[in-house]
Structures are given as structure tokens and as C-alpha cells.
Structure 1
């Protein structure tokens, strides 16, 4: 199994430097104990409350790209503190990555409170995904009921993705807007028909149209 080692201390003090080296040494031994193939060792000095850390972001990238199947840490606080820790645990565990730590001399055992919070986060994320899909379907349904015909009004339907695919006719945005759809619903409708367009883009195009009418 391929693994990545992550070590972190919060300051640049000399005593912290020795802690960083000790973490690395102990985690290398843990990797040998479980016969892991260590792909990388990432060490950094940063606050555990800070989510924007180059080291941990590289860890997440490697996990997302399926380069490793296990992450080795001294304990869960090395990932982060407070909400940052919970967010990182969620990101790592939902990818199916195993967490091993020195403090447990093996696979990480979450506390009852952390397990409960992570379950809640997973449930919320799943319902957000379902709600997003429902909003897309609702927007598409409303648009079609108002006379929207994607096969006639949208170009490049089914073609390869690219710059042209987001060139949605402004007249369609105007018409759907007049029919009572919100910018989010209009964007969701276009995305449902394969056009990669955001709510912000729809709003910007509409504002550009209004500005042109005032000239």
C-alpha cells in the first residue's frame, strides 16, 4: 500500500524543529511496521487553525489523485485544530484513505464526538448535493414550461466542451428572466442541457444587456 507521511509543528522555534524531525523518524518506522511504500514525506511549520497550508493542500491533492491509499500522522491534531481538523478529516476519509497515527500505533480511532460530527457533515453534504440536483431539475422544468426549447435555442449541444459551449444566447437569458426564473435557476437550466455556465456569468450577461439598452 502506498502512503504519504505528514508532519507539522506550529512555530519556527528550535524546539519545534526537533519535534518535526522526531515525527518524521517515528512515522517512517510506522510505515516500515505496516510495510507501506512511502511516496512522499511532507513537513511544514504552520498553525493548525490555518486551512491554507501548502503542505496539507499537497496531501489532499495526492489523495484526490489516488496516488496514495494511506496517510501517516503523529495524531489527528497534526492535521489541524478545531473546525480545520474536522474539515480535513472529512475530505480525507470520504476518499477512502486510511489514517494511521503514532498515538494509536496503527489506524486512527476517532473519538465519539468527532465521529458524530463527521457523520453530520457527511449527511449535510449529501443533502446539499440532492438539493442542488433538485434545483437543476426545477429550473429545467420551469424553463420548458415557459416555452424554452433547448434543441432550437442552444448551439453546440452535445459537442465537445470548449469556449463556444458557454456562449449562451443573451435573448434566452432575457426571456427566461422575464418568465420569472432567478439567475441561479437560469444557470442551472443551461447546465442541465450541457452548458457550463455559472450564476455569475448569467447575471453579468444580463447586466451587460441592461447597460446596452441605456446607451
Structure 2
């Protein structure tokens, strides 16, 4: 996966600048360790249930413009908390030939794996 153009996406649900910065630093280190070329970073505080987020729109624009090969997130819950909408967004990314890489080691390959991962991460308290 080396030399792939990566976009880092970080999200926290509640105001916590420290958690957001830590998430970003962790993803930057992950990208460097795996030889990804970071071409953009989005960090935002927003609910994972809201898919009209400014940051997600920024990611979508980069995807539509063909600027990235992969989207790097801490885990799938950072992308979204609504299983159906997150699945639809992941399918759209796949249609655009953008791979999603989760730094927690979960790299879903099929819709079934995506849904299983989303259900598992939805069992935590934070949104």
C-alpha cells in the first residue's frame, strides 16, 4: 500500500481538542509507518449520526476530484454511527476506487464485514 495518496479523517462527537489532536497524531504516525502520502486532513467535532457534516463533505469533494486513493480513519465509528448511511457511504467510496483503512486494524472487505464492524463499534457510549 505504499505511496498511496491518503486523506486522514478524524472526528469526535463532543468538544475535546485533546482527543481530536491525539486521534490526528495517531493517524499521521500510522500513515507514515505505512508509507502513505498524506494529501489532506479533516478533523471535526460533530455527531456521527449527522451525514451533512462539513468535514465529510470535504472528504467527499477530494474523492470526487480524484485526489485520494484511500481514506484513513481510527475506526469505522469515526466515519459514521448510522449503519445504513455509513454502509452507503462506504459503497460510494468503493465505487470511486477509494479504499478505507482503519488504524485499529479492521479493514472491512465486504458489506457483511462492514455492518458487523459498525454494530460492534456502535456498542460504545460515545457518538
- TM-score category (smaller protein): 0.7 to 0.9
> TM-score w.r.t. structure 2 length?
0.79
2:29 is aligned with 1:26: no
Structure 1 or 2: more helix by fraction: 1
Q: Which structure has the bigger radius of gyration?
A: 1
Structure 1 unmatched ranges of 5 or more: 118-215
Structure 2 unmatched ranges of 5 or more: 117-127
Matched residue count: 112
Higher relative contact order (CA 8 A, sep 6+): 2
Q: Rate the CA distance shift 1:68–1:112 in 2: closer, same or farther, 3 A.
A: closer
2:105 is aligned with 1:99: no
Cα deviation 1:45-104 (Å, max 9, x = unaligned): 110010101101110110111101011100011000122321221221211111111110
> TM-score w.r.t. structure 1 length?
0.48
The residue number in structure 2 matching 1:72 is 72
The residue number in structure 2 matching 1:109 is 108
**Which runs of structure 2 are paired with 1:201-212 in the superposition (5 Å)?**
none
Q: Over aligned residues, Cα RMSD in angstroms? A: 2.1
Structure 1 or 2: more strand by fraction: 2
Secondary structure in structure 1 of the residue aligned to 2:8:
strand
The residue number in structure 1 matching 2:58 is 58
Question: 2: CA distance between counterparts of 1:46 and 1:80?
Answer: 10
